[in-house]
Structures are given as C-alpha cells and as structure tokens.
Amino acid sequence: MGAGSRPRQRPSEELLAALRRAKADLHEEHRERRLSDKVRMVLELQRICLPLIARQRPLRPWERPWTVEP
C-alpha cells in the first residue's frame, strides 16, 4: 500500500447477498435458453475476444473462430 492509502473495506453482507441472488438469477435465465441461443452467445463472445487475443499473440489452432452460423 502506498503512503496515505487505507486498507480496502470488505463488502457488506447485504451487498454480497444481492450479488449472489443476481448471479443465481442470471444462471437460471441461461439454463432456460435454447441451445441455439447459447451457441450464438459463444460465437458472439469469440468474435469479441479473439481479435483482442490475436493482437497480443498468434491464435492457436483451437482458438480460431468457428465458421458456423446458428
């Protein structure tokens, strides 16, 4: 820690409980989605992330984007 900085406070139990509920709700929402929607989400995330990785290093063969459209 630098001079003049204070230790970080732990989040309150209420905040943690709210975050856990929100995470559970999100997981429930994802469980209810159709498989084609889940595949579409994975493809979209690949399109977002892989160019960022490719700027840092060459993509490995298994990291190449899929050439499919759900």
Indicate the domain borders of the chain: 34-70
Taking the C-alpha atoms of residue 47 and residue 3, their distance in angstroms, rounded to an integer, is 43
What pLDDT was estimated at residue 23?
97
Higher pLDDT, 53 or 65: 53
What pLDDT was estimated at residue 1?
55
pTM value is: 0.56
Model pLDDT for residues 16-47, shown as the tens digit of each residue: 999 999 999 999 999 999 998 998 888 888 88
Kindly indicate the confidence band of residue 59, based on its pLDDT and cuts at 50, 70 and 90: confident
